[in-house]
Structure 1
Amino acid sequence: MEWSKKQYNQQYENWMPWVEDNILYYFTKDNKASYATKDQLSKTKITGNEQVDNLQDGVNNLAAGQVGQGGLLQPVGDKVSKEGINRTERGGKDDSGSYTGAMGDSAQAGASKVTEGAKGAGSYVGSFFGGKKQ
């Protein structure tokens, strides 16, 4: 029972952000960033006046639409949706299950080269002061 529960949760974590992204893409003009922006801005209604509320809704939709599909800041909204919101939903992992992603692999390789260089420099300095060469 525990195994099946774990598998279900793992698949849910993997697929639901993708499903949500596709529903927003095909049925609305939003990505997750613009959808969340609209949701938060809709909570800021100042008056109960219908005309003012309509004006405020228009301004809110304009602001949120800029990070949605076809908006001026769509690349920013897509990146925030994929790397920010989706990673948060997955507990920090990307869609392949890695915490660091492709950039992390190259950063790890670079860090190992720096470590090798530091070890080499350390043995050189140690031998300079009469220590053993390694």
Structure 2
Amino acid sequence: MDTIKQALGTPSAHTEEQQRHIYDNLPAEQREKQSYADWVKEVYNDQYEKWMPWLEDQYLKWFGNGDNKASYATKDSLSKTKITGSKQVDQIQDDVNNLIGNQVGENGLLAPLGNMASKEGINRAERGGKDDQGSYGGPMAGITDPVDETSQRAGQGLSSGIQSAGSSLASGAQNVGSVLPGFGSK
């Protein structure tokens, strides 16, 4: 992934020929790990992860009538809780839902909380925990990102060890079932 970021730098529109050229100039070990199609898919997903939360924020800023993601999500969740089929009661409920949602919106009393929840909560969740710079730790990134990478590698090693142990147990159980009469057959 770091090789992709170094190769592409800032986001730009590359033609298929330019992408192929960038891929061909990657180190041989990187090309052996990934096919061209996998590499392009990874680059696309990386760009999507960076840009989509920003695009959603811009859309809400321009067309959301003072909504941020937190207020929009609040209003949307509350709108699904209609109690009756009566127009009058539903209208009152819609008004209350909008009142609550608008308080975490752009001009609400809880706007700072809503903006923080939108940026640091919802946007990070959409990016898999990363901020808009691709870091997990924000100001503490120098400390937290290496720890996170080490934890991920340890988790992957543990996962493969558990899978190996599980397949060994399964094959051992099959062997026991085939040796003992009455076990393993129905």
* TMscore range, shorter length: 0.7 to 0.9
The 1-side partners of 2:88 and 2:116 are apart by 35
The 1-side partners of 2:124 and 2:138 are apart by 11
Give the aligned partner of residue 54 of structure 2.
Answer: 18
Deviations 1:78-109 (CA, angstroms, capped at 9, x unpaired): 0000000000000000000000011444xx3x
Unmatched 5+ stretches in structure 1: 109-134
2:115 aligned counterpart, secondary structure? helix
**Aligned amino acid, residue 61 of structure 2:** Y
The 2-side partners of 1:5 and 1:98 are apart by 21
The 2-side partners of 1:69 and 1:101 are apart by 24
Give the aligned partner of residue 115 of structure 1.
Answer: none
- Residue from 39, 45, 66 that aligns with 1:3: 39
1:78 is the counterpart of 2:115: yes
1:64 is the counterpart of 2:101: yes
Instruction: Quote the sequence identity (%).
Output: 65
Give the aligned partner of residue 131 of structure 1.
Answer: none
**Aligned amino acid, residue 45 of structure 2:** N
Structure 1 segments (4+ residues) deviating >4 Å: none
Report the CA distance between 1:26 and its aligned residue: 1.1
**Aligned amino acid, residue 18 of structure 1:** W
1:118-133 aligned at under 5 Å gives the runs: none
The 2-side partners of 1:80 and 1:30 are apart by 12
The 1-side partners of 2:101 and 2:119 are apart by 17
The 2-side partners of 1:40 and 1:11 are apart by 29
Deviations 1:47-91 (CA, angstroms, capped at 9, x unpaired): 000000000000000000000011111010000000000000000
1:107-126 aligned at under 5 Å gives the runs: 108=143
The 2-side partners of 1:70 and 1:25 are apart by 12
Report the CA distance between 1:7 and its aligned residue: 0.5
Unmatched 5+ stretches in structure 2: 1-36, 144-186
The 2-side partners of 1:67 and 1:104 are apart by 28
Query: Which of 1 and 2 has higher RCO (CA within 8 Å, sep 6+)?
Result: 1
The 2-side partners of 1:45 and 1:5 are apart by 42
Q: TM-score when scaled to structure 2?
A: 0.56
Give the aligned partner of residue 129 of structure 1.
Answer: none
